Each structure stands twice: as C-alpha cells, then as structure tokens.
Amino acid sequence: APAHSAYLAYLDASCATLLPVTPRPTSEAPGLEPHSLFAAPGMTWWQPDEPAIVATIRAAIAGQDEAIASPRERILREMTWERAARRLLAVLSEVEPPRAARSRWRPRRWNRRG
C-alpha cells in the first residue's frame, strides 16, 4: 500500500508493505491537464518511489518478501468503538469552550395546558 493518507490509519509495517511516496505539487504530475480539478494551486499528489516499488514487487515475486500479519487482526484489535469514542471525546475536549464562556441557556419545561 502507498505510505500516505488513509492507508496509514489502518496499515503499518506489521501488516503491510508500505510503499514510499513523496508529496509533490500537482503542477509536476505527469499527464494532468492544467484545467483539471486536481490541478488547483496548492494541491499535491503522492509521487511513488518507482525504483523502490519495482524492488518490492520483484522481491514478492521471488518469495523474498517478509511474511507479515493480516491487517484484519490489527484492525479488530486496535480499531474498536471504545477507542473511537475516546478519540472523539479527546478531539471534542480540545475545541470545547471554557466553562465560564458556556451559554447558560436551558430549555424551558413544557407547560401542558388543557
């Protein structure tokens, strides 16, 4: 898998062969049309390290690559709902306003009239 973006959220060297890439401006991307959505200023793409990828594929074909664990086991072990909830609470606590600045508004009770 390419060693960038979402792949790194669930893959690491224990369960995948991560292929090296380098972020580059899209203006350097071969074959990308200048008016393309992806050619906007400031956009990047991941340029693969082709010699490293060729060497990795050749090693795999020759049976010289290392045996690695299944990503499934890592995902089941590390990507639990409990961990996701803890991470969400941590992120939310970083953006939570200080207690003194919180609104004091409380919903009114319903008044059921006849």
pLDDT > 80? residue 31: no
Distance of alpha carbon 53 from its chain centroid, rounded? 21
Amino acid identity of residue 41, one-letter, is P
Predicted pLDDT at 81: 92
- pTM for the full model? 0.56
| pLDDT of 35 higher than 80 | no
Q: Work out the pLDDT band at 62, boundaries 50, 70, 90.
A: very high
40: tokens are 């906007």
What are the structure tokens assigned to 90, written together?
């941590």
Q: Specify whether the CB–CB gap between 50 and 30 falls below 8 A.
A: no
Distance (Å, whole) CA 99 – CA 96 = 9
